[in-house]
Structure 1
């Protein structure tokens, strides 16, 4: 799953993930992404941190709470952010995200992230 309010970033990340063998589900709205996640678990989430309405930190909190309440297996969450500030990286980790990628990211970095979280190499 890819969640990003910027349509260009959403399309780019989805297309590149597809090239690497993933089958991304794209959402431009965090609330809609959460509703979809409640119905159908995913293997990995790439999540923009700064979005209008529900932001990435809040969505990560909701996902982690749902996993705890339902006993669902923990889903890896990779934060996508343009901010490389240490406090922002720390906030992502404190909200249950597993990794932080700084935008713009290199395609090789995205591929390595997929491998780290269980996607077989293509």
Structure 2
């Protein structure tokens, strides 16, 4: 497996610890953003292979943060970084809204380790 740099936008400490535990034995470095504003700021100053975006966060939610990231990429003619929405909201309208905001994939919590690994690998293979 190739090394990856992952941005994890997640406000719940337990979910952060779970994702870190899932990915701990892999050559992945994880930057954590506790809300959408911090996620966008980190994204603008770093290069990530994939973004794991919680949808419901304080200040700026995952929908808005994703939209701001997509606008940033477009304004600088950057290629799109894969963004995987991760949310407890499993309704079809939540999924539609995530895709409309610019997410590439939608996963519901609780996320299983195998599903998370498969999604990250699918979107980061050359």
Same fold (TM over 0.5): yes
4+ runs of 1 displaced by more than 4 Å?
none
After TM superposition, give the deviation of residue 119 of structure 1 in Å. Answer: 5.4
- What is the alpha-carbon distance in structure 2 between the residues aligned to residue 49 and residue 101 of structure 1? 10
- Against the structure 1 CA distance between its residues 96 and 90, is the aligned structure 2 distance closer, same or farther, given a 3 Å change threshold? same
8 Å CA contact retained: 2:8, 2:30: yes
Aligned position for 2:59: 53
Aligned position for 2:13: 7
1:69 aligns with 2:66: no
Aligned position for 1:100: 106
Let me know the Cα RMSD of the aligned residues.
1.4
TM-score when scaled to structure 1?
0.92
- Against the structure 1 CA distance between its residues 119 and 6, is the aligned structure 2 distance closer, same or farther, given a 3 Å change threshold? farther
Q: Deviations over 1:35-64 (max 9, x none)?
A: 111111211000000111100000000000
67, 90, 97: which one aligns with 1:84: 90
Aligned position for 1:36: 42
- What is the alpha-carbon distance in structure 1 between the residues aligned to residue 111 and residue 43 of structure 2? 25
Bigger strand fraction: 2
- What is the alpha-carbon distance in structure 2 between the residues aligned to residue 24 and residue 83 of structure 1? 24
- Against the structure 1 CA distance between its residues 65 and 33, is the aligned structure 2 distance closer, same or farther, given a 3 Å change threshold? same
TM-score when scaled to structure 2?
0.89
Q: Deviations over 1:7-62 (max 9, x none)?
A: 11112112312333321111112211211111112110000001111000000000
Name stretches of at least 5 consecutive residues in structure 2 with no aligned partner: 1-6
